[in-house]
Amino acid sequence: MTFQTTPEAIKFISESQFIDYDDSFSLSKYCSQLLRSKEHERDGRDIVIRVRDAWSRLQENTKPIWNDLTEAAGLYPYLDTQNLSTSALLRYEYHKSPFMDDIFLHEEQQYLSVVLQSKKSVVVSAPTSFGKSLLIEEIVASRLYKQIVIIQPTLALLDETRKKLLKYREFYKIIVSTNQSPDEQKNNIFLFTGERVVEYEHFETVDFFVIDEFYKLSLNRDDDRAIALNQAFNRLLKFTNKFYLLGPMIKIFLFLLRRSLI
């Protein structure tokens, strides 16, 4: 089978009970062409992810080809290391998190991690499958900042984040209520909604903050919570201009104060 479009390739992968040698080779050839194109690289990466999901339905002799394409796509967490060259193994190890055990970052995550570790602010608009939230834990695990505020839109998300970050409680006190005071002996992570940041009376200093679903800062949305989120954003900017804003793929631009981007 010859593949001409990405939807055609995706449909073939999802509907095939078994991907034989010829079809797998043809699909890998098409995927390779996409990965070599800056304009279509994302489509190539999407196909690689879908093939990895269909790994058990793939002809065994073609798996090394797809392993190479997985590396070419920068998807290091999915690599089969037994079939990598020495140079590829070095690149694989480079993408291993230095702060979290047995966690590997894909190429774009690794790039953003390096930027964040250099204490620069980052705004990320990417699909759900990108792994934006993992970078929050990467920052916490690195212990780069002492006082961190994490804003998420719902209590359910905050509780999910709290559970993930409990492993760092020897170094950080995790604060989830406006009635809690910061620990003066160790560092603190404040897990709040925008409204709670506005209400909280015990901030002495903030070194870094995160806003999940930052597009909700837009006052053009029919959402009363946007005002509170903007108030929270403005309050945190008075402490620090180091932040990580993350959200889904959007078609709007967020304009920030010049001083917040320094």
The residue that leads in pLDDT, 244 or 37, is 244
Backbone dihedral angles phi then psi of residue 82, each to the nearest 5 degrees: -65, -25
Judged by average pLDDT, the poorest of 37-46, 48-57, 83-92, 128-137 is: 83-92
132: burial class by Cβ within 10 Å (0-12, 13-18, 19+)? Answer: buried
pLDDT value of position 41: 86
pLDDT digits (tens, 9 = 90+) for 23-82: 998 999 999 999 888 888 889 989 999 999 999 999 898 888 888 888 888 887 877 777
Q: What is the DSSP string of 19-83?
A: B-HHHHHHHHHHHHHHHT-TTTHHHHHHHHHHHHHTGGGB-GGGHHHHHHHHHHTT-GGG--GGG
Does residue 122 or residue 92 have the better pLDDT?
122
CATH of domain 119-261: 3.40.50.300
> Could you report the per-residue pLDDT of 208-237, keeping only the tens digit for each?
999 999 888 888 777 778 899 999 999 999
At residue 135, the pLDDT reads: 92
- What residue ranges in 196-242 does DSSP mark as E strands? 208-212
The per-residue DSSP string of 86-135 comes to HHHHHHHHHTB-SSSTT-B--HHHHHHHHHHHTT--EEEE--GGG-TTHH
HSE-up (13 A, CA, CB side) for residue 155: 4
With beta carbons less than 8 A apart as the criterion, state whether 188 and 205 touch: no
Contacts of 143 (CB under 8 A, 6+ apart): 99, 171, 187
pTM of the model: 0.69
Q: Where are the domains of the chain?
A: 6-94, 119-261
Q: From CA 149, how far away is CA 171, in angstroms rounded?
A: 15
Roughly what angle, to the nearest 10 degrees, separates helices 21-35 and 6-15? 140
Lowest pLDDT segment from 26-40, 46-60, 87-101, 178-192: 87-101
Tokens 């002799």 belong to residue: 61
In the chain, the N- to C-terminal Cα span, in Å, equals 52
The mean-pLDDT minimum among 80-84, 159-163, 164-168, 235-239 falls in 80-84
